[in-house]
Amino acid sequence: MGLNDLSIEKLRDLLKKKEISVMDIVRDIEAGIAQDDKHELPLNAYINFDINRIKKEAGDLIGNSGKIENTLLKGVPIAIKDLINVIHTPTTCGSNILKNYVSPYDATAITLLKKNGGVPSGKLNMDEFAMGSSNENSYFGAVRNPHDRSKIPGGSSGGPASAVAGNLAVAALGTDTGGSIRQPASMCGVFGIKPTYGRVSRYGLVAYASSFDQIGPITKTVMDGALLLEAVSGYDPKDSTSANVETPVFSDYVGKSIGDLTIGIPDEYFGEGLDDEVRTIVEQGISTLKEAGTGVKRIKLSYTKYAIATYYIIATAEASSNLARFDGIRYGTRYVKTEDLETLYKENRSIGFGDEVKRRILLGTFTLSSGYYDAYYLKAQKARTLIREDFTQAFDEVDIIVTPVSPIPAWDLGQMVDDPLQMYLSDIYTVPVNLAGLPAASVNCGKTSGGLPVGLQLIANHFNESDIFRTASVVEGKVG
């Protein structure tokens, strides 16, 4: 057993007592990755793990402050999904078009991570530009699920979830636009939380859909999730959508009583399409919370049925513009030599992007086009408001909404690649949260008979992550 198997909480303790060094952990992670690479079916969780670069980051941290023991994370290495910029490190976004791009700056979340004693350690695989629910859309190859290597790890943060579950990382920062933290966390049996929109700065996070994207932790334990979220949260004047609110000490809420909370169970999340085994496991989770003393109420989130359509219209519209800058002219890969500007754009983008990315760019371009804007984009914005109001009303009655994360557990690699619509529909329980900008987590709630993890989704009102941590730790305590 290596140090890579331990939690942030444990390693923090060992580092504090000076029983281990930062580089001891990094070396164990490196050994873990090397060993996994020899596996017949490697997890393929990393795009880049540059030991020299990590050493430099660790050295800076130890050298700079001299007070690393006073920091929150005390030097624990944290792996980073490869669309969060880390200075002097490649940021590929899982794409061919950025395979050689090296960022000249740190994202604010990384600056805060370092300030709080975290060492950015390697860049993790993902669906290209965070578009996907299975991590099969990466230019750097699909990622596997450590619980069953024939299965997908979920997406788009498949790399982070697989690495943390497979002990190839202590903890990771992922991103969540429509479920990209919660769904892979659920499928890999780890903890993942998408914070309230505005809680963590988006500066330096390569945008997929700006009004949805949030950075958040994927960790082995609820406590680790609390610690890591604390480390990267906070107002950032460089992000106009960042919220100027106090960051609570989330770790103080882990393990606290939930007797004062009322949980809400929305009918719409338990209807057709929900796998029976998943339903049973989620219901067990709800029972656990009841036993811990929460009130339970059935609630209505009537506009849920419009969530998928609404999400895929607005997110792809934003994506079509956000990804327009990738043309191979100023940075990234230029694939053709031509004197014709239009050819340059067409060729670079045709070769540089994968199919799913192209599909979403086309979809977004279409819905924004003159003559279609009102029918699609504008209508979707109205639906978004209704979905948000659904939640506002629900939170008048309850504190935490409890639902499944994914209607089905991890599926076979390749099973849905040719059926994008089916894959989009699997996001039904996660996208409403992003439409409303709410915080939500996935905490492991049990396993199917086939040994596949199933997560429980906990949704709270804006900036009320503390209640999620309280509730998640109860589920974690029961399931173990």
317 binds other proteins (CB under 8 A): yes
377 binds other proteins (CB under 8 A): yes
Site string for other proteins, 42-81 (x = CB under 8 A): ----------------------------------------
39 binds other proteins (CB under 8 A): no
Strand 400-404 versus strand 440-447 pairing type: unpaired
3-state secondary structure of 217: strand
Q: What are the structure tokens assigned to 120, written together?
A: 């950015």
Q: Give the total of residues touching other proteins (CB under 8 A).
A: 44
Handedness of CA 13, 3, 250, 282 (dihedral sign): negative
The answer to whether residue 240 is catalytic is no
Residue 111 C-beta: closest distance to other proteins, Å: 12
232 binds other proteins (CB under 8 A): no
Task: Rank residues 205 and 357 by Cβ distance to other proteins and give the closer one.
Answer: 205
End-to-end CA distance of the chain: 19
The answer to whether residue 121 is catalytic is no
Q: Which of 3, 168, 185, 207 binds other proteins (CB under 8 A)?
A: 207
Cα diameter, the chain: 70
Task: Rank residues 105 and 249 by Cβ distance to other proteins and give the closer one.
Answer: 105
Residue 208 C-beta: closest distance to other proteins, Å: 11
Q: Which helix (H) or strand (E) holds 173?
A: strand 171-176
Supply the DSSP symbol for 378. Answer: I
Residue 425 C-beta: closest distance to other proteins, Å: 25
Residue 344 C-beta: closest distance to other proteins, Å: 9
From CA 342, how far away is CA 111, in angstroms rounded?
Answer: 38
Best CA proximity match to 418, nearest among 470, 460, 355: 355
The answer to whether residue 81 is catalytic is yes
Residue 181 C-beta: closest distance to other proteins, Å: 18
Strand 295-299 versus strand 262-266 pairing type: parallel
| E runs forming strands in 262-398 | 262-266, 295-299
From CA 272, how far away is CA 227, in angstroms rounded?
Answer: 37
Q: Which of 370, 418, 449, 480 binds other proteins (CB under 8 A)?
A: 370
Q: Which of 156, 157, 406, 473 is catalytic?
A: 156
Residue 377 C-beta: closest distance to other proteins, Å: 6
Residue 211 has a CB neighbour count (10 Å cut-off) of 17
From CA 405, how far away is CA 453, in angstroms rounded?
Answer: 11
Q: Using CB under 8 A, which of the segments 237-245, 258-266, 294-302, 458-466 binds other proteins?
A: 237-245
Q: Which of 210, 284, 338, 385 binds other proteins (CB under 8 A)?
A: 210
Beta bridge partners of residue 434, listed in sequence order: none
Q: Using CB under 8 A, which of the segments 28-36, 201-209, 264-272, 436-444 binds other proteins?
A: 201-209
Q: Which of 66, 104, 259, 480 binds other proteins (CB under 8 A)?
A: 104
Instruction: Name residue 89's amino acid.
Output: T
Q: What are the structure tokens assigned to 281, written together?
A: 């496991």
The residues, any chain, with a CB within 8 Å of residue 252's CB and separated by 6 or more, are none
Q: Which of 48, 262, 365, 464 binds other proteins (CB under 8 A)?
A: 365
Do residues 135 and 152 touch, judged by C-beta distance below 8 A? yes
Q: Which of 4, 44, 71, 85 binds other proteins (CB under 8 A)?
A: 85
Sites of contact with other proteins (CB under 8 A): 83-85, 91, 93, 98, 101, 103-105, 107, 202-207, 209-211, 237-241, 317-318, 320-321, 324-327, 329-331, 341, 345, 365, 368-370, 373, 377
The residues carrying an active-site annotation are: 81, 156, 180
